[in-house]
Structure 1
């Protein structure tokens, strides 16, 4: 358990939730406008879809490389500096993207975002440090709800700002990440005691090493495979959604933002109110399978939807 005094524990948990919300708000703000900004540079909806997909792959690739490195760094130096540096890095990244004069600058911004957003795993590690094992499922569900809450606000703000200026959401995202950094600088204590820290190791801090570790634990490798497929499907969807909605249904940033906010509200309700009781009743495995089955049906119906209202219902 944590070395944090009881009086500061609530403040630490509050910071984790606030940071989760602010980071996801910042990320969500740019979702409705980034593909359109790319389209402005390339002048083609179809080509913008391809490049946006490449940007998603670039972002995810940097996460794949950076996540184990950042995790190992947090094991040696503690969770606090990693989380704070991540917030500061995201703020700088969004300023870079707001000023980007061409696609190369946007690509650089995606690289920086992929590296700095890898610290989301450190947020979960922080909660594991300060939470008893039997309470972690609920704590992770609450973090998921905080992420969903940020995802409700982000696309709405980004959609309305994007109607005013395609670059305005990036400035708003930079401000959100900057607020999270300064808030954490004052509030956040360290959660990992020095006697529990591990020296940085390239053997653990590289994707190949992580894959070898997974291979030694069958239960982890199966879960990792499911997680990979789940994130793969969602990244495929997110890479084309904004441009697809514009092309097929004539939706702009405002409509896209409102729809994503609706999805975030439903997700927040599920994470905060449903996951805990259902997991208690059915167990982890059956709950996961139920969620994956529902996601499969929903994705299939979205691909079928001939009109906007059917897509919203799906």
Structure 2
């Protein structure tokens, strides 16, 4: 592992996720400190995602042409500046400024995924993408707990400045350890060959044209839609969980951090074995079962009134998310050629951003109007829609071959 080309990108993602999770449980309490309502809190979350929606495909295409490493460095520098502004905020508009700057340069994850696609073969890709899941698990284990501890004892600015320090560390890691991968531009993936497309097909210019181009092709459309179902469910949960816990169970910022940490423990434990699990069951089946677990966990949240039920809900959702993320990302990259992987992952990042706009806003509206049970049920329904879609397609395919 230490000599693997994946080691630097894993370290980079790990530090970035740690920084992100330091801020994540903090924002609702930080914004309410400046007088924000639940809906405004989720608008703050959505502002980051809206900017990310604009920049995601652009950064993906730039990384395809200019290289992964320089594009990643620019993205990380923007994140660093955004966290500094967040730490120095003395008003609500400064919180918005910090999140907007971070969002406009937020291509870290999609570029890291494209890098992994560059240096791995398709059959090893799920195991490699699981490294991102491990980084997320470790980040959610350490970051939220540290955020709650720091905010409770030193004020809301402390976690934000801690995130800035970690972000600066990720810049140093990328600059000193990460090498630009050599991409086999002429080699198609199995998914591309099956679709009959050419790796030399010219990509359209423009964000919406690029999204329409990939959605116009059956193979990437299928898995991008599954990714959208996952993202909507996950984003709604993530955007509203702190507010839900504050109102339903009267949790403070420190207790909320520990809930996020528990989710990280569960997800991280599963990620280490994702390579073997994927080889045994296949990515398509894992996406289906992961979405079903997410649907069950999020729906159960709506009926949560005590700690044991909460832990079961978070446990189910964390297992589902840990399984779906690397599996569906692998299927997306297998559905296109190598020269398109940065672009299609940029589109998937745009879907994430769209979900992080829509999901938190729905969560904020429901919570502000006291519809706490509906919050969990709606979040679960997004995952269930994806699972049903995949079940219908699998049943139809089986009927045709029978």
* TM norm structure 1: 0.89
Partner of 1:244: 244
Partner of 1:288: 287
- Aligned partners of 1:16, 1:152: CA distance in 2, in Å? 19
Partner of 1:184: 174
Provide, for residues 53-75 of structure 1, a one-character-per-residue CA deviation record: whole Å limited to 9, x for no partner: 11222222222221110011111
Deviation at 1:260, TM superposition (A): 0.8
Q: 1:100 aligns with which of 85, 89, 99?
A: 89
Partner of 1:157: 146
Deviation at 1:309, TM superposition (A): 2.6
The 5 Å alignment of 1:1-314 reads 10=3, 12-42=5-35, 47=37, 49-164=38-153, 165-192=155-182, 203-204=204-205, 206-273=206-273, 275-314=274-313
Higher mean alpha-carbon deviation, 161-170 vs 104-113, is at 104-113
Provide, for residues 100-120 of structure 1, a one-character-per-residue CA deviation record: whole Å limited to 9, x for no partner: 222222112111222222231
Does the 8 Å CA contact 2:31/2:41 hold for their aligned counterparts? yes
Does the 8 Å CA contact 2:11/2:173 hold for their aligned counterparts? no
Task: Give 3-state SS (helix, strand or coil) of 1:92's partner.
Answer: helix
Provide, for residues 19-55 of structure 1, a one-character-per-residue CA deviation record: whole Å limited to 9, x for no partner: 111111101001222111110111x6xx1x1012112
Task: Give 3-state SS (helix, strand or coil) of 2:181's partner.
Answer: coil
Deviation at 1:257, TM superposition (A): 1.1
Q: Structure 1 runs of 4+ off > 6 angstroms?
A: none
- Aligned partners of 2:93, 2:65: CA distance in 1, in Å? 34
Does the 8 Å CA contact 1:64/1:207 hold for their aligned counterparts? no
Does the 8 Å CA contact 2:63/2:71 hold for their aligned counterparts? yes
The count of corresponding residues between Structure 1 and Structure 2 is: 298
Instruction: Give the alignment's Cα RMSD to 1 decimal.
Output: 2.2
Q: 1:239 to 1:75 in 2, by over 3 A?
A: same
Deviation at 1:183, TM superposition (A): 2.1
* TM norm structure 2: 0.70
